[in-house]
Chains A and B, each alone.
Chain A
Amino acid sequence: MTLTHANHVFRALADPTRRAIFEELTRQGEQTVHGLTRYAGVSQPAVSKHLTVLKRAKLVRHRREGRETHYRAQPDALAPMVDWLDHYGAFWRDRFDRLEALLERMD
């Protein structure tokens, strides 16, 4: 993963409203801005702004159909997060082992 991409993903998902929008798209499949606005409980411009951030993180994709834009989730974009968990999970396990060894050596 590149740091910049990972950073976009983490930033995008740090916001509870964006997280809710992303999860709604994951659960319900493709939706329009109108549909998402009804769900999110914030204004349509606010939803559009959140969608822009999610798009930059590649967490959602869009397609136009007539006057409506449809959005759908791209769960594959969560890969940096999974990488992070794998990486740090292994990292801390290893450090705990080393801590245990150090404690044995300490008097």
Chain B
Amino acid sequence: MSNPAETPRTLVVERVFPHPPEKLWRALTESPLLAQWMMNNDFEPTIGRKFQFRTDPKPNWNGVVDCEVLTVDPIQRLSYNWGIGGSEAGLQWVVEWTLTPAEGGTHVRMEQSGFSPEQRGNYYGANYGWQKMFDALDRVIGEVD
């Protein structure tokens, strides 16, 4: 990627866990394990797999996240679409997990970007300060260790 100052940013949460990447990968991709920390789901680590995360309904949201697996790069990278509110009127995101071996464990990076893959061409091509709107993020991320 290019200079971070010029690269539009999205929501990124990172943490180093004192566990091997293989274990993280299981927690991210085995449906019963995933259910224990994310949400109930019918996930399978297969590209093109449509699945849902389900939780209790909230005001303005029925508690369902409609997803489709985009990338499965064992023990390294996993991404899926993240859609709420149906495909027409709803909001679409991409959630991407990246695992990197780190000293004493695994560096986990979660990036949630607000654009579908076909919009990414424009998105990354732009030099405009999208970043500015995400300044609030630094506050959010600052609280994460």
Contacts and interface: CB of A to CB of B under 8 A. Distances in A.
Interface stretch (A50-58, A64-72, A91-99): A91-99
Interface in B86-145: 89-91, 108, 110, 112, 114-115, 119, 122-123, 125-126, 128-130, 132-134, 136-137, 140-141, 143-144
B49 interface: no
Q: Is the interface of A mostly helix, strand, loop or mixed?
A: helix
Interface residues of A, number: 34
A36 B121 CA distance: 24
A96 B137 CA distance: 17
A20 B8 CA distance: 13
A3 B85 contact: yes
Contacts of A2: 60
A78 B19 CA distance: 39
B38 A95 contact: yes
B16 to A, nearest CB: 10
B143 A93 contact: yes
Contacts of B108: 96, 99
B140 A19 contact: no
A20 B132 CA distance: 12
Interface in A82-100: 82, 84-86, 88-90, 92-93, 95-96, 98-100
Contacts of A102: 27, 33, 36-37
Given A7-B90, A78-B133, 20 more contacts: A1-B60, A3-B85, A4-B89, A7-B85, A7-B91, A13-B133, A14-B123, A19-B128, A85-B136, A86-B140, A89-B137, A89-B143, A92-B13, A96-B15, A96-B110, A98-B38, A99-B17, A102-B33, A103-B17, A106-B33
Interface of A: 1-4, 6-7, 10, 13-16, 19-20, 23, 78, 81-82, 84-86, 88-90, 92-93, 95-96, 98-103, 106
